Chains A and B, each alone.
Chain A
Amino acid sequence: MSPDTTDALLLSLRVAALATALNAGLGIPLAYVLARRRFRGRGLVDLVTTLPLILPPTVTGYYLIVLLGRRGWLGGPLYQLTGWSVAFTWYAAVVAATVMALPLLVRTAKAAFESVDRDLERAAYTLGRSELRTAVEVTLPLARNGILAGLVLAFARALGEFGATLMLAGNIPGRTTTVPLAIYTAVQTGEDPTALLLVGILTALSCVVIVVANQLGARAT
């Protein structure tokens, strides 16, 4: 395996792991709120968090550039203040992967929360537990398998992210070239052995993901 190939693999794993961790921190509470609370704008939040799943990745990538680029709504002020921009760094790959994988986690976790028997939660309330404690000590463990399935799916999605990553992070070997981007370049330059190796690795990983997610899904019901 060439150094570029190992770089791509390690980078992809790092990016996907970080993206999944961020999604867990953001997505699980969000999924709970969407599943259990009624509030103004709930439909809108649900819509916005589902968008990256439906929008073409290049569209999401475009929005990310408009938001986070050097002249972006958020990225612009950041650049003016610090001279730093997320574009073309590996953090951009993390951002792209996080955004694209978030809907998978949120939808799966939301379904998992909704399937938890509310009577059990009500029982906890009558016993004096606050909503927060109930959520953490009762609901979350009961929804655990579904959430784990969501995390596994989100990890796989983050690993395979291409379109939005290419737009925000670029394709810089050793810095932002993830496995999907490396496959793209390998095919473009006719390096079939490299392409085949990387494709094989991603396919194997995806198969593992499907099996694990199915097992967790089966145990959740």
Chain B
Amino acid sequence: MSIVMRVAAVVLSVAAVGVADAQEMTLSAAISMKDAVEELGRGFMASRPGVTLRYNVGSSGELQKQIEAGAPVDLFISAAERQMDQLEKRGLIASATRRVFARNVLTVIKPADSTIDVAKAADLLDARISKIVVGNPRTVPAGQYAEESLRALGLWDRVQPKLVFAENVRQALDYVARGEVDAGFVYTTDAAARGRRVKEAFRPAEDSYRPVLYPAAVVAGAKQAALAQAFLDLLVGREGQTVLARFGFQPPPGGVR
């Protein structure tokens, strides 16, 4: 064998060994779940040598569209049932694996050094509030919940001129933290994540929007379905629920289902 062939054979067999041992699982998670999922992922990888988790975070709407376009994702975590429902309708998730494992609460935040008094929804109409950020309601669950709440309170049309749309809830959080806007709709878990730069102004009445529920499911045709299921089991199990609670998530009403 020529030297080139020999080198190629060595390289290929090393690569083959690498591929056989390494298992990569791709997880698309709503960005509000990013920190909790990464922490759980660290423990997951530590207890499974050779397994690597790849996190794909963004707004649930964006992630849903990626899966519809055939993205090779193994597990999908959404911040609303709507996106998961749409995937289920198209047969793109393994329905039997779908579980709702966490719940969040919507809150309105303002920059930490803001001196504007915002104690209730109607205060958003104050002239000193010139810009309010919400997730783009077309693709971001946090924006969808915000729109729902503002409509229920009869304020949606009147705050329209002040609205700035963010591509996901963490971008909304960032705009408030930078002081680029006067107020924003995020989840309580997001507010806690940037606790030094933002403060909660008020929480919209919980009956003004549908509950923020996080469903998770193994994606249909997932290459790493077993690993995905294992991670899902971790999310719904006691250890996962404890970590989620530490980040400020609540268990879904009626417990994990």
Q: Which residues of B contact A (CB under 8 A)?
A: 61-62, 65, 68, 130-131, 136, 138-139, 163-167, 178-181
Nearest opposing residue in chain B for A169, CB measure: B164
Q: Is there contact, CB below 8 Å, between B179 and A190?
A: no
The A165-194 residues at the B interface (CB cut-off 8 A) are 166, 170-173, 185, 187-190
Q: Is there contact, CB below 8 Å, between B136 and A171?
A: yes
Contact with B along A185-214 (1 / 0, CB 8 A): 101111000000000000000000000000
Q: Is there contact, CB below 8 Å, between A188 and B61?
A: yes
A70-B178, A172-B163 known; A190-B62 Cβ under 8 A = no
Which of B65, B131, B164, B167 contacts A189 (CB under 8 A)? B65
Cα A173 to Cα B180 in complex, Å, equals: 18
A88-B131, A188-B62, A188-B139 known; A70-B165 Cβ under 8 A = no
Q: Is there contact, CB below 8 Å, between A171 and B167?
A: yes
A70-B178, A185-B136 known; A171-B165 Cβ under 8 A = yes
A-B contact pairs, 13 of them (CB 8 A): A71-B179, A87-B180, A88-B164, A171-B165, A185-B138, A187-B65, A188-B61, A188-B62, A188-B65, A188-B138, A189-B65, A190-B65, A190-B68
A83 within 8 A of B: yes
A69 within 8 A of B: yes
A151 to chain B, nearest CB (A): 32
B86 to chain A, nearest CB (A): 9
Q: Is there contact, CB below 8 Å, between B178 and A65?
A: yes
Chain A: number of interface residues, binned into ranges = 10 to 19
A171-B167, A189-B138 known; A70-B180 Cβ under 8 A = yes
Q: Is there contact, CB below 8 Å, between A170 and B178?
A: no
**Chain A to chain B: the 5 pairs with minimum beta-carbon distance, closest first:** A88-B164, A71-B179, A189-B138, A70-B179, A170-B164
Q: Which of A70, A171, A188 has the most CB of B within 10 A?
A: A188
B177 to chain A, nearest CB (A): 10
A85 within 8 A of B: yes
Cα A67 to Cα B178 in complex, Å, equals: 13
Which of B65, B138, B180 contacts A85 (CB under 8 A)? B180
The A32-51 residues at the B interface (CB cut-off 8 A) are none
Which residues from A are CB-within-8-Å of B178?
65, 69-71
Q: Is there contact, CB below 8 Å, between B61 and A172?
A: no
B180 to chain A, nearest CB (A): 5
Cα A87 to Cα B180 in complex, Å, equals: 7
Which of B130, B139, B165, B167 contacts A83 (CB under 8 A)? B130
Cα A87 to Cα B136 in complex, Å, equals: 17
Cα A188 to Cα B130 in complex, Å, equals: 28
Cα A187 to Cα B167 in complex, Å, equals: 13
Cα A85 to Cα B131 in complex, Å, equals: 10
Contact with B along A59-73 (1 / 0, CB 8 A): 000000100011100
Which residues from A are CB-within-8-Å of B65?
187-190
Cα A171 to Cα B181 in complex, Å, equals: 14
Q: Is there contact, CB below 8 Å, between B139 and A170?
A: no
Which residues from B are CB-within-8-Å of A189?
61, 65, 138-139
B214 to chain A, nearest CB (A): 21
Which residues from B are CB-within-8-Å of A185?
136, 138-139
Cα A171 to Cα B165 in complex, Å, equals: 6
